[in-house]
Structure 1
């Protein structure tokens, strides 16, 4: 059954979404074919800053589909925001080098040098994340750079993935991760995969990190930059590391904030996430007690009571996804403590609001679950049997009682999928210039141990470790933010192994 999905007759799709301009920037060949690199004997020096030349971008006021989402972030009125489009190549395995991928980009700030921002596949669309990040950086930073957020392929307003039937998605997320029963997860994942194959056709295997890295090269050309300067947040950092592997002579100044574990064994990589997620909840509980929140010193007990309640309207899987999503953003922790307190009193609204972006779709935005499912399964090489999955779920539920079962479910949902044409490699980027990797000691998404391994693997990477908690250090840790600022604006490479206080 696994192999048959990919043997269905497929027709190449070239789908477009409405944007602020009817004529997006058209990428032209500037001397290299996709995937080619210029030979080098070792790491390149950090390139100098330069302003764009021959930019193909057409910036315009953002349309309603963007401004409505921006309103929820409440950016200050003086923050200039414009929108545009970049066209890349779909590059499906069924039509290599052909097809069109149109991507939404958003520019925030007035600095002359564009700095691309790439976010997690399951987080805010990159356009919105760039605005939120701009609001947390020193104002003078935006006099040097303008942040250019990109909705990566299959997300946000970049031909977003909508392929899992609503009822199938609802059943998948409702399953109680603590039960350890893996067979229903695998069965539903098989149905989801079949429907995604029928809906997406040849686009399905083209939604992965390898091809997303090529989209960044399309963005570089469209922006008129000799070198790409960029920030990767969480799993978005992996896209930048793959870009550095594929296009080392196009790498400018890269900051990778929370680079994921590069291990190709999904169990090894994901066990760190389970451990990090539980540690992050413990950090949240300690923070809650310290600031005398609604839960006092009983955050863990309150969550246990909510999960055990037969009267609570949200299924345990939805509750855990809501809590996990809220842990990503340190600024959301006060709202999370209130949401858990309200849930203990029978009010599900707060937790539901955190979980809704993952599972609920609207005309304006897709559920992030679909794009995450397709990209993660296309990126991963390892597949486990049902017996192995059941054993792993049982073990992780014991060792990591809050989120162990939820993380184990991500191993299960990919088990029926075939291995795609370009599973994520382990980038070393030996010819790329220095890159700064930021890690966070207690990170629910990209734990420090995995980020440290990834940094060690990248030839020219230097590691700056923040001893705090949350997902990502940039804009949260003053020390890590200062190191990144000096790297971007002055070309100062921090000392490898720098440690920032909590």
Structure 2
């Protein structure tokens, strides 16, 4: 784990996995669908948001468009064919700083696929796969799970948020520098290793500042939500219809909090809890991945060839921890210059926790790595980091901390605080606790001071909102969905009793039918509806 609080859909994690390790497993990779790290509500550019954190609430922005923003709301987009057949793309301008709209602009990339019919058009349906840092355009063009009945009635729309993908991006490191960064030991065993880890975080932050210093103060979730309202207006929609996954749920909830009267049908799948501070969020997520690993281990030990033994889940965890320690001392060969380090192996296992369909792949990858061949497990890690076969990284791992470190005060400000918190993280996960705790130190060295705080989002006056939670979700624990649904004044909680990250479009007819019905005719699921 080289970055903390990464939340994205399992489709985003496994998009590259099938290509990288096909032929290495008798099982299939995760089906495209959804994810990944918790971000939080943020005050940058939102002078009307209630200040403070914790028990404070996010207040709506005025309904009148400020004069300085009127030119942005009145702009016309020039559409052109792009990418996958049937898609159109355009570029929308937005102010770099909403407090000073005349002080510079950024570019926001937008894509759409018009409603296919039959049936009357219902407007635009905007999607976001999470991250923060996931490309909504890539997600829409390749993996968006919305079925034919929904696509027929809505223009499907995606916008890469500010700092992400095709929009004006955050940049930090060269690809070779990123390779070194991802291999940094994140379970330091000595003061020297702690210093080396801290230096890697400092160097990462300095790289972001030198390459993207002007943009870094202006990639908050609130600013991204304000961009969404601008796009809603530019598209001619009176209200926003939206499906957000993982971090995308926080973005959608923030939109509802700022613009309740502009909120239409919102689906928030794999929900985050905006009231939690960064440290609590990281501990909760550590426990979430432990729950997912326990489910994986329970399945693995049923197979006689399970690389973690066949005794019980506790023994499987001990074996995995021992394997990580061996890699810490002696990284495994991969057939390329990069070896499989403990850090990369941990990331590979974490990647496989997003979707239970990847479990067979992980079993094979672990078995091969234990025999000295780390290629398949490295491929899983690369899929998580969005590193392609040519060694190029997407900017997701740069945009992710840029948003997270702006949205909340840092979980830790120094190494001593991490050491003091290790017992809590180890209790949450004996296997992953140390790695998650130390990865949460990254924001301590961020070059831009946070401008947001944890807060509730009541969104009073919004239309009915559907919040979706999965009971054994690793990245967004089910308790977060319950927390968000309690905060949003018009929310209904829809529960998926299952494994993996998010629920919509992942094989549950019960979930899909409930969400599709809501999107098509506005009927919310019954209270306390539970699906399998």
TM-score, scaled relative to structure 1: 0.78
Find the partner of 2:441 among 378, 401, 412. Answer: 412
3-state SS of the aligned residue for 1:177?
coil
Out of 99, 105, 111, the position equivalent to 1:106 is 111
CA contact (8 A) 1:180 1:397 kept: no
Return the offset for 1:429. 0.9
Distance 1:452 1:368 in 2: 28
Q: Match of 1:88, SS?
A: strand
- CA separation of 1:354/1:90 partners in 2, compared to 1, >3 Å: closer, same or farther? farther
- In structure 1, the partner of 2:82 is 62
Deviates further, 211-220 or 421-430 = 421-430
Could you tell me how far apart the structure 1 residues matched to 2:217 and 2:454 are?
13
- The answer to whether the aligner puts 1:164 opposite 2:193 as a matched pair is no
Give the Cα separation in 2 of the matches to 1:62 and 1:131: 10
Deviates more, 1:285-294 or 1:306-315: 285-294
Residue 84 (str. 1) matches residue 90 (str. 2): yes
SS in 1 for 2:124: strand
Contact map agreement 1:229 1:251 (CA 8 A) in 2: yes
Question: What is the match of residue 436 of structure 1?
Answer: 466
1:341 corresponding residue in structure 2: 367
TM-fit CA distance, 1:246:
1.1
For the pair 1:353 / 2:398, whether they are aligned, the reply is no
**CA distance, structure 2, for counterparts of residue 350 and residue 97 of structure 1:** 50
Equivalent positions of 1:240-251 (< 5 A) are 240-251=252-263
Deviation digits for residues 471-492 of structure 1, max 9, x if unmatched?
1011123222211111110110
Flag the 1:333–1:115 CA change in 2: closer, same or farther, 3 A. farther
Structure 2 CA distance for aligned equivalents of residues 84 and 293 of structure 1:
51
Partner of 2:517: 486
1:202 is paired with a residue whose SS is coil
Q: Partners of 1:186 and 1:427 in 2: how far apart?
A: 34
Shift of 1:463: 0.6
Distance in 2 between the 1:275 and 1:367 partners? Answer: 27
Q: In structure 2, what is the Cα distance between the partners aligned to 1:57 and 1:363?
A: 34
The 10-residue stretch of structure 1 (139-148 or 199-208) with the greater mean CA deviation from structure 2: 139-148
Inter-partner Cα distance in structure 1 for 2:455 and 2:461: 16
Asked if 1:380 is matched to 2:408, the reply is yes
Say whether the 8 Å CA contact 2:78–2:90 is kept in structure 1.
Answer: yes
Kept in 2: contact 1:186–1:415 (CA 8 A): no
1:195 maps to which of 191, 207, 213: 207
C-alpha separation between the residues in 1 aligned to 2:297 and 2:258?
Answer: 42
* Selected match of 1:328 from 327, 346, 354: 354
CA distance in 1, matches of 2:75, 2:298: 49
Q: 1:415 aligns to what SS in structure 2? A: helix
From the superposition, tell whether residues 146 and 96 of structure 1 become closer, same or farther in structure 2 (CA, over 3 Å).
closer
Q: 1:378 to 1:290 in 2, by over 3 A?
A: same
- Length, aligned pairs only: 439
Could you tell me which runs of 5 or more consecutive residues in structure 1 were left unpaired when the two chains were aligned.
Answer: 1-32, 40-53, 68-78
Q: 1:333 to 1:142 in 2, by over 3 A?
A: farther
Q: Tell me: CA distance 1:186–1:359, structure 2 relative to 1, closer, same or farther (3 Å).
A: farther
Deviation digits for residues 281-338 of structure 1 (CA, Å, limit 9, x no counterpart) = 2222334456888658657577446422424121111111122223223443333333
Match of 1:128 in 2: 138
Please provide the CA RMSD for this pair.
3.1
- Please give the alpha-carbon distance, in whole angstroms, between the structure 1 residues aligned to 2:142 and 2:228: 20
Within a 5 Å distance, the mapping from 1:308-327 to structure 2 comes to 308-309=326-327, 310-312=330-332, 313-327=339-353
**C-alpha distance in 2, partners of 1:273/1:440?**
13
1:86/1:224 Cα in 2 relative to 1: closer, same or farther (>3 Å)? same
Counterparts of 2:344 and 2:240, CA distance in 1: 39
- TM-score (norm. length: structure 2): 0.74
CA distance in 2, matches of 1:364, 1:160: 15
Q: Which has the higher contact order (CA 8 A, sep 6+)?
A: 2
Selected match of 2:157 from 120, 138, 148 = 148
